[in-house]
Chains A and B, each alone.
Chain A
């Protein structure tokens, strides 16, 4: 019997596993809601022994709740199960602080330098996202300032205990899922520091600056990950390349802009990875990414998640068009799955058997499992899907 890691590795290399791998991601509030709906707390709560208190004064070990592990309970895998611990964010971080507040909202300086306004009331705290009212980069001057926090040689980018042999061993032994290295693609990076409207406008307002930022992004990523990539090589099963560069209608940037501003830099990053035997790169982009797929493949990206049905993504159609140029993950319509019963079964039946035969597919919902998906309906989904996975 193959391990979960072996299954994922087989599929992303277009080989046949014994059982089709299945991966999900969960919002924490979904897990908490399910605890209230009867999910056994002792089976999904992760407890670790920590020094108490953490200032190191009291040398006492104490069990603390560190999070949730629904993956083991439901028997699916987590893309982020074993992650290379590199920090690709701004260093030093901005100081997280409340800038202003009133009865309904508070405005916070986030650690990445954006100002976020969020609703304070508990009723809307969960399953909500803040509104970003300001971003750290607006123009050349603010970019030059921000860039100072993107020093790839900053020793804080790697853990204090970065001891290569020990990490090699950890990555070698991990079998519960895939090992992964995560960073933002140029779109994800740019949208995070400028906000979507400004970043998209800048391609026309100041193309020279955008070329410079793209070149810096490339150099920053390669230099930052170099040590880990050259050490761990293909013990890293997959690169997780976050973009979120599409909306329902289509990509946020045209194929023309992609080819001009993204492609040359992407090819160089991918070439560096390939030189180190890492050749599986999964792009995370919501929305309708179809018009960009030719260019994305040209860049060296080899997989896509989550293929949102709501935006018109169809894994079977993508597979038919691109075959083994792309492995695919997700695409089971979360809205249909959450309805349960016949609707859920129809969604699975219409996709999983066909994609299983076509190969290069990791089953799962077409985004994170959201809070409206009840535990009872999710259990129903798990039970039915599991029957469809073995070859």
Chain B
């Protein structure tokens, strides 16, 4: 019964059915006493993974990605009161932000939504973030991943500044650096010493998962 219900959650999410249905199913799963961690892992995250795969395969596009993330948020609203006690596993910690001088946030926000939904503890510092703020937050949270976004070719140079400052602060070896945004390419990532350039949010989150599994 619980397997069917969880599968139903996966399908409802991945097929982007309506918000009311996903909320009802999550509520029903709670009523049946299915552990919250199981609802999240075997239901919602599996559904989200399916959305990500469809996006990567060109079946879904930005609208579907955004709606999938919105459905996930709707489901988490129901789960919110139970999450703290549920022992849902934290997949890792990410410090995220758009670099100094750049005010773009759409790609960054989508990455943040997907990373959160995938189980990461995400500290989103917003846009136009000073390099020192990234360093400070990384030290404070002991995050394993730093995700930097830049849309403009002029502002992407800030990414190099931040990576240099990580080295000066002596924490470069502890942190994996992912860069993303329209101005960023794989070659550019290599050039500035980043660990990875994500072409989109889904690919970025997949790489974060892989990094955490390697640890």
Q: Residues on A close to B: CB < 8 A? A: 104, 117-119, 123-124, 127-131, 196-197, 200-201, 203-205, 247-254, 257, 291, 310, 335, 370-372
Given contacts A119-B128, A201-B70, A372-B154, contact A247 B62 (CB under 8 A): yes
With both beta carbons as reference points, the residue of chain B lying nearest to A201 in the complex is identified as: B66
CA distance A335 to B187 in the complex (A): 12
The answer to the question of B185 belonging to the interface, with a C-beta cut-off of 8 Å to chain A, is: yes
The answer to the question of B211 belonging to the interface, with a C-beta cut-off of 8 Å to chain A, is: no
Q: Could you mark each residue 62-97 of chain B with 1 if its beta carbon is under 8 Å from any beta carbon of chain A, else 0?
A: 111011001000000000000000000000000000
The A contact surface, by secondary structure, is: mixed
Given contacts A127-B152, A200-B63, contact A250 B58 (CB under 8 A): yes
Residue pairs across A and B with Cβ atoms less than 8 A apart, 27 shown, are: A104-B128, A117-B103, A119-B103, A119-B128, A127-B154, A128-B103, A128-B152, A128-B155, A131-B105, A131-B127, A196-B106, A201-B66, A203-B67, A204-B67, A248-B182, A248-B199, A248-B200, A250-B58, A250-B62, A253-B61, A253-B63, A254-B64, A291-B58, A310-B182, A310-B185, A370-B153, A370-B154
The answer to the question of B206 belonging to the interface, with a C-beta cut-off of 8 Å to chain A, is: no
Supplied contacts A200-B67, A252-B62, A254-B59, 9 more A-B pairs, CB within 8 Å? A197-B106, A201-B70, A204-B64, A249-B199, A250-B62, A257-B61, A291-B58, A310-B185, A372-B154
* Least distance between A258 CB and chain B CB atoms (Å): 10
Interface residues of B in 169-187 (CB under 8 A from A): 182, 185
Task: Identify which of A127, A257, A335 contacts B63 (C-beta below 8 A).
Answer: A257
With both beta carbons as reference points, the residue of chain A lying nearest to B181 in the complex is identified as: A248
Given contacts A131-B103, A201-B70, A247-B182, contact A254 B63 (CB under 8 A): yes
* Least distance between A281 CB and chain B CB atoms (Å): 23
The total of chain B residues at the interface (CB under 8 A) is: 31
* Least distance between B183 CB and chain A CB atoms (Å): 8
* Least distance between B77 CB and chain A CB atoms (Å): 15
B104/A131 in contact, CB under 8 A = yes
* Least distance between A337 CB and chain B CB atoms (Å): 13
Task: Identify which of B62, B103, B109, B200 contacts A129 (C-beta below 8 A).
Answer: B103
B200/A249 in contact, CB under 8 A = yes
CA distance A204 to B67 in the complex (A): 7
* Least distance between B60 CB and chain A CB atoms (Å): 7
CA distance A370 to B156 in the complex (A): 14
CA distance A335 to B67 in the complex (A): 34
Question: How many pairs of residues, A versus B, come closer than 8 Å at their CB atoms?
Answer: 86
- When distances are taken between beta carbons in the complex, the residues of chain A under 8 Å from B103 are 117-119, 128-131
B200/A200 in contact, CB under 8 A = no
- When distances are taken between beta carbons in the complex, the residues of chain B under 8 Å from A117 are 103
Most buried by A among B55, B61, B128, B182: B61
The 3 closest A-B pairs by CB, nearest first: A131-B103, A252-B62, A200-B63
With both beta carbons as reference points, the residue of chain B lying nearest to A308 in the complex is identified as: B182
B61/A252 in contact, CB under 8 A = yes
With both beta carbons as reference points, the residue of chain B lying nearest to A251 in the complex is identified as: B61
CA distance A104 to B61 in the complex (A): 35
CA distance A123 to B102 in the complex (A): 12
A253/B62 in contact, CB under 8 A = yes
* Least distance between B15 CB and chain A CB atoms (Å): 12
CA distance A124 to B103 in the complex (A): 10
Interface residues of B in 104-129 (CB under 8 A from A): 104-107, 109, 127-128
Given contacts A131-B127, A201-B70, contact A124 B101 (CB under 8 A): yes
* Least distance between A250 CB and chain B CB atoms (Å): 6
- When distances are taken between beta carbons in the complex, the residues of chain B under 8 Å from A201 are 63, 66-67, 70
The answer to the question of B16 belonging to the interface, with a C-beta cut-off of 8 Å to chain A, is: yes
Task: Identify which of B63, B154, B182, B199 contacts A203 (C-beta below 8 A).
Answer: B63
Task: Identify which of B102, B105, B154 contacts A371 (C-beta below 8 A).
Answer: B154
- When distances are taken between beta carbons in the complex, the residues of chain B under 8 Å from A205 are 67, 70
Given contacts A117-B103, A251-B61, contact A204 B16 (CB under 8 A): yes
A129/B104 in contact, CB under 8 A = yes
Task: Identify which of B58, B66, B151 contacts A200 (C-beta below 8 A).
Answer: B66
- When distances are taken between beta carbons in the complex, the residues of chain B under 8 Å from A130 are 103
Most buried by A among B63, B66, B104, B155: B63
- When distances are taken between beta carbons in the complex, the residues of chain B under 8 Å from A127 are 152, 154
- When distances are taken between beta carbons in the complex, the residues of chain B under 8 Å from A128 are 101-103, 152, 154-155
* Least distance between B140 CB and chain A CB atoms (Å): 22
Q: Could you mark each residue 33-77 of chain B with 1 if its beta carbon is under 8 Å from any beta carbon of chain A, else 0?
A: 000000000000000000000010011111110110010000000
A204/B63 in contact, CB under 8 A = yes
A372/B128 in contact, CB under 8 A = no
CA distance A181 to B89 in the complex (A): 56
With both beta carbons as reference points, the residue of chain A lying nearest to B60 in the complex is identified as: A254
- When distances are taken between beta carbons in the complex, the residues of chain B under 8 Å from A250 are 58, 61-62
Given contacts A196-B106, A201-B70, A248-B199, contact A119 B101 (CB under 8 A): yes
- When distances are taken between beta carbons in the complex, the residues of chain B under 8 Å from A253 are 61-63
CA distance A310 to B199 in the complex (A): 11
- When distances are taken between beta carbons in the complex, the residues of chain A under 8 Å from B104 are 129, 131
CA distance A203 to B101 in the complex (A): 33
* Least distance between A255 CB and chain B CB atoms (Å): 9
Most buried by A among B102, B103, B105: B103
A197/B58 in contact, CB under 8 A = no
* Least distance between B84 CB and chain A CB atoms (Å): 29
With both beta carbons as reference points, the residue of chain B lying nearest to A291 in the complex is identified as: B58
